[in-house]
Chain A
Amino acid sequence: MSIHVRNIRKQFGSFTALDNVSLDFPTGELVALLGPSGCGKTTLLRIIAGLEQADSGQVLLDDEDASGTHVRERQVGFVFQHYALFRHMTVFDNVAFGMRMKPRRQRPPEARIREKVHALLNLVQLDWLADRFPSQLSGGQRQRIALARALAVEPRVLLLDEPFGALDAKVRKELRRWLRNLHDELHITSIFVTHDQEEALEVADRVVLMDRGRVEQIGTPEAVYDHPATPFVATFLGSVNLFHGRVEDGQLHLGEHALALGSASGDVSGDGKAVAFVRPHEFDLVPGWRTGDGLPATIVRVVSVGPSAQIELSRLDGERIEVTIARDTFHPLGLGEGDQVSLRPRRIRVFQDDTRAA
């Protein structure tokens, strides 16, 4: 089922949670709503589910206005951050709940319910826990049961609110993959909310970046990572080095140094104050300070563990820069802490400085 969101606004007192948000979620896609806490992503999810009412705007489910449709008729599967399992019921009864609550005429016979619950528990690979109570399960198991419970009513959409937020890092990683595989199997239109960029980039078909109640950018994980549309997206996704300077004649001027903007992407229309972003792995290191060629800096610290070396440098004005280089490239240079180097960015993303970032 496709979901369209049109001009949604939502205020909580004087706080604007959603400011004129319009989005399209095509059928069968797994979309991540990504943003810092308080950006309105959960509110949007709850409005789509019908758990919250928008102040204005429309939610279209399969091109039908859902404003007048109650949550229980919307056929959405909702998965909560803290599982919201019924703790007085066994895993089996939790999953069977949705089917057992149906009006008598639509309710499947008990044998059919039993069959379906076991099928769902097999799908989430937890059939052996059917007789346990939620308190006897681990966090990851609980969330999988919550997902099975949501799927039991054959929802047209699956909405997941920070589904892995309460889990520890290792389990979270496992479940991410697992969710992706499950989605590839079921192809049910799914939206999940997260503040974890790694999670969004790894799992989703498309990522919607939100900040302060607005949509900042929509795109595939590669697109939003490689071509951030706004300074917010550039800083929010991955780690990044930030420079304040001026753009003049196709060059970025940082104090007395200038960097060519040959392969720059972003908003470089015209001269003036600008912010520039360079990711740590987009620098080349050249030993020694050279005037007119790169940015002079001093190595402060080198952490050379794993496939790449993390290097912390200090610019002449004392600002810190982070650089990541493959270890095989770094070692032949023979550089160590205290050495002077020049930094050549391979890519720079430049945005006009609207002074708020100052």
Chain B
Amino acid sequence: MAAARTFRVLPGFNLTLGYTLGYMSLLILIPLAAVFLKTTELTWGEFIDVVTAPQVVATYKLSFGASLLAAAINAVFGLMLAWALVRYSFPGKKIVDALVDLPFALPTAVAGIALTALYAKNGWLGQYLEPIGIKVAFTPLGVLVALVFIGLPFVVRTVQPILEDLDTELEEAATCLGAQRWQTFRHVILPILLPALMTGFALAFARAVGEYGSVIFIAGNLPYVSEITPLMIITKLEQYDYRGATAIASVMLLFSFTLLLIINGLQAWTAKRTGRDR
């Protein structure tokens, strides 16, 4: 490795690498290592008992299932929103553009309470949805709504710059070659947007898995039905069961890490396949 000293215009490889490692250690690696360390206070048997308790397993399903679904919904509608913002001008466009970021800024508890008030039996929307058999508040559906809400900005903000750079000439070229509208979208636009879309999806997913504040209010937290994994951890903590809490946390971390690794791998693969990464 040392033999291949390449010249770079900007120096500072050692500095940046050292800084990166130090920073990552302080902020991410050490705290997370502490989680795993605390977990090791449990015996293997105890660990398995805690993390595979039926109530806990039910929360994994809800947390990861709803998060994946929410990220998928955000990928579709976030793309549409970004498209509208980039391609068209309409009255109030600037305001809509600013509104997109609001889920970032709003304290999640406020979002949760607002959503609950809207979708509860006597809420603005809930009073119309409940009679036709759609229960949102205090069900897994409510969890999904909250996760879609907080994940929205990620897809819009990752796709938007790519769309802005996208030349309309490409669409014109495709049309001249006889492509129908959906073919142009499917074969020309989507492949170019895909890596950004996947980044947005991954971010929205990661955010949704870790979300606590907004979900707690709208979920109702019925065991086996609408409990999310972060709630399980908090519950354990409130019972001073630190080891149990960290055990569940480490399972969640491993899960999330694996999924993010897969998504990043997919992204790199599409980039390579489409000739962007060389």
A: residues with CB less than 8 A from B are 49, 51, 71-72, 76-78, 80, 82, 84-90, 97-98, 101-102, 133-136, 146, 149-150, 152-153
Nearest CB of chain B from residue A189's CB, rounded to whole Å: 16
Number of residues on chain B facing chain A (CB within 8 A): 21
Q: Which residues of B contact A86 (CB under 8 A)?
A: 170, 173-174, 187-188
> Which residues in window 131-189 of B have CB below 8 A to A?
167, 169-170, 172-180, 183, 187-188
Nearest CB of chain A from residue B85's CB, rounded to whole Å: 23
- Are A88 and B178 interface neighbours, CB within 8 A? no
Q: Which residues of A contact B169 (CB under 8 A)?
A: 80, 82, 84
Known: A72-B175, A77-B176, A89-B274. 20 other contacts (CB 8 A): A49-B176, A71-B172, A72-B179, A78-B172, A78-B176, A80-B169, A84-B172, A86-B170, A88-B276, A97-B177, A97-B179, A98-B177, A101-B179, A101-B180, A102-B178, A133-B275, A136-B275, A136-B278, A153-B177, A153-B178
Q: Which residues of A contact B225 (CB under 8 A)?
A: none
| Most B C-beta atoms less than 10 A away, residue of A77, A87, A88, A135 | A88
Nearest CB of chain A from residue B194's CB, rounded to whole Å: 9
B: residues with CB less than 8 A from A are 167, 169-170, 172-180, 183, 187-188, 191-192, 274-276, 278
- Are A72 and B180 interface neighbours, CB within 8 A? yes
- Are A101 and B183 interface neighbours, CB within 8 A? yes
Nearest CB of chain A from residue B267's CB, rounded to whole Å: 14
- Are B275 and A135 interface neighbours, CB within 8 A? yes
Q: Which residues of B contact A84 (CB under 8 A)?
A: 167, 169-170, 172-173
Nearest CB of chain B from residue A146's CB, rounded to whole Å: 8
- Are A82 and B167 interface neighbours, CB within 8 A? yes
Q: How far is the CA of A322 from the CA of B191 in the complex (A)?
A: 56
- Are A78 and B173 interface neighbours, CB within 8 A? yes
- Are B176 and A71 interface neighbours, CB within 8 A? yes
- Are B192 and A87 interface neighbours, CB within 8 A? yes
8 contacts between A and B (CB under 8 A): A72-B177, A76-B176, A80-B173, A86-B170, A86-B187, A88-B192, A102-B178, A135-B275
Q: How far is the CA of A49 from the CA of B173 in the complex (A)?
A: 11
Closest 10 CB pairs of A and B: A133-B275, A88-B274, A98-B177, A84-B169, A84-B173, A101-B179, A78-B176, A88-B191, A72-B178, A71-B175
Nearest CB of chain B from residue A26's CB, rounded to whole Å: 22
Of B167, B176, B192, B276, which is within 8 A of A72 by CB? B176
- Are B177 and A101 interface neighbours, CB within 8 A? yes
Q: How far is the CA of A187 from the CA of B9 in the complex (A)?
A: 51
Minimal Cβ-Cβ distance residue in A for B191: A88
Q: How far is the CA of A133 from the CA of B174 in the complex (A)?
A: 17
Nearest CB of chain A from residue B183's CB, rounded to whole Å: 5
Q: How far is the CA of A235 from the CA of B172 in the complex (A)?
A: 35
Q: Which residues of A contact B177 (CB under 8 A)?
A: 72, 97-98, 101, 149-150, 152-153
Minimal Cβ-Cβ distance residue in B for A70: B175
Q: Which residues of B contact A87 (CB under 8 A)?
A: 192, 274-276
Q: How far is the CA of A97 from the CA of B191 in the complex (A)?
A: 14
Minimal Cβ-Cβ distance residue in A for B194: A88
Q: Which residues of B contact A146 (CB under 8 A)?
A: 173
Nearest CB of chain B from residue A311's CB, rounded to whole Å: 46
Known contacts A51-B172, A80-B169; is-contact A101 B178 (Cβ 8 Å):
yes
Nearest CB of chain A from residue B109's CB, rounded to whole Å: 43
Q: How far is the CA of A84 from the CA of B175 in the complex (A)?
A: 12
Q: How far is the CA of A99 from the CA of B251 in the complex (A)?
A: 51
| Most A C-beta atoms less than 10 A away, residue of B170, B177, B179, B276 | B177
Q: How far is the CA of A80 from the CA of B183 in the complex (A)?
A: 20
Q: How far is the CA of A77 from the CA of B177 in the complex (A)?
A: 7
- Are A88 and B175 interface neighbours, CB within 8 A? no
Nearest CB of chain B from residue A295's CB, rounded to whole Å: 51
Q: Which residues of A contact B170 (CB under 8 A)?
A: 84, 86
Q: How far is the CA of A213 from the CA of B211 in the complex (A)?
A: 60
Minimal Cβ-Cβ distance residue in A for B195: A88
